[in-house]
Structure 1
Amino acid sequence: MICFFLHRTLPFSELVKRANEKKHEQYFLNAEEKYYLRSLGDDPRKDVADIRSQFPELSGDIHLPIYCSSDRVFSCVLRIGSPHVQLWTHYDVMDNLLVQVTGRKRVVLFNPRDANNLYLTGDKSRVLDIDSPDLSLFPRFSRATRHECVLEPGDVLFIPALWFHNVVSVDFGVAVNVFWQNLDEKLYDSRDTYGNKDPLPAQRAQQILDRALKTLEELPDEYRDFYARRLVSRIEEKSYMAEPS
């Protein structure tokens, strides 16, 4: 199955109406298309999403337990989705609470230690169908341990930073995400309005690795293989790569 999405603008009431329909009289592509809203800042290039600013009439209905000081809260995101809308497996760099307001949502999580089994491109997994994966393309995915739950209206799920999650709306649903900065503020990318850019030291480390790999390409195959294995070995020897006891 080939799936793709388009960005379109609708009045809020029309979006809610269409997202809650099984079949549409008015549509963009076909009568069974799905709808998904992820709220943005007033200026998406500069401002983060905050339900208190973008939807002030709704913000009073959301009461969250206090897990961090208010100055650490990064964003408060409103999400509305049609039944069966799925968000691909990805990680965020901040802790967050997923608050299910209406409808049900299936959430599948993977530990950060499974990163090498998820075939990442950036912060996303290339394994789109996690229920029936093509193991001829993604053989290591079978090693990944999944943790699954279904959120009912009123449920709140804590998703720690770096934990991978795949989310499917079982029904028409409304949810709110609250992200907060659990690291020192100076470690985050100040240009990041979505809260999903890697911390600055991690970005620098990946850039250094990219340059190292490019440098190794100057060597013949057997030398390139040997020194690449030495680099991998040095990383694996670091204490932060050790398995938990």
Structure 2
Amino acid sequence: MFRCVGKLAVVTGASSGIGAAIVQNLAKQGVNVVGIARRESKVKELAERLLNEKGKVYPYKADITDESEVVQAFQWIETNLKQPVKILVNNAGLSILRDTKEGNTDEWKKMFDLNVIAAGTCVRETLKSLKNHNTDDGHIVNICSIVGHRTLADFPGFYVYSATKHAQKVISEGLRQELIRAKSKTRVSSLSPGYVQSELFASAPEDNMQTLAESPHLKPEDIADAVSFIINAPEHVRVHELTIQSAEELF
């Protein structure tokens, strides 16, 4: 049974891969979705394909590493849709695989800006949206990663990316505790997939790409199904943390 019919969701990184699969899954359930991405044209194409689904998809172009653009996006939602954001799926992410000893701080900053800071900004604006509508029964789902739980010796170059995902996981748990202490009904979930076939690692070095290509992997639709499971859990159930991996994945 779908509990979220008619609610409004925001999905970041909605133009392809996991994000697009989540948008499609939610729309089929009857959830209205604002799909945020830098490549708005991709989200528009997705919205057109989903025109006959129960939920409506609203494409919105934004670079969420720019705080002002996140604020503007939520202002647009308030002005045009006049609904609280009941579901946030922080999916946008960046992985630049390079040995830590090379010390490329610009790349480190880009990953932390998107994977950690931008996700936090979206959380803040979602909580503001709920408060503005005098409700607090939202759900925040942060797409983390199995590499946020442990480093992978067989995949050099992952370590700073792993650090960003560990940070996101820790912040998710801290936020969950904050909201429980405040007697809020808003739930916070951390979803950590293993290797998923997507664009995330498209810039990986050739030897890493070969290893990834030969590795067991999940499909974006598997992650979308996991998000659906999380947000449709009974009201008395909170899925704090969920890991999902290919049945054949070793790490």
Q: Please say whether Structure 1 and Structure 2 have the same fold, judged by a TM-score greater than 0.5.
A: no
TM-score, normalising length from structure 2?
Answer: 0.29
More strand by proportion, 1 or 2?
Answer: 1
Between structure 1 and structure 2, the one with the greater Rg is 1
RCO greater where, 1 or 2, for CA within 8 Å and sep 6 or more? 1
TM-score, scaled relative to structure 1: 0.29
Answer 1 or 2: which has greater helix percent: 2
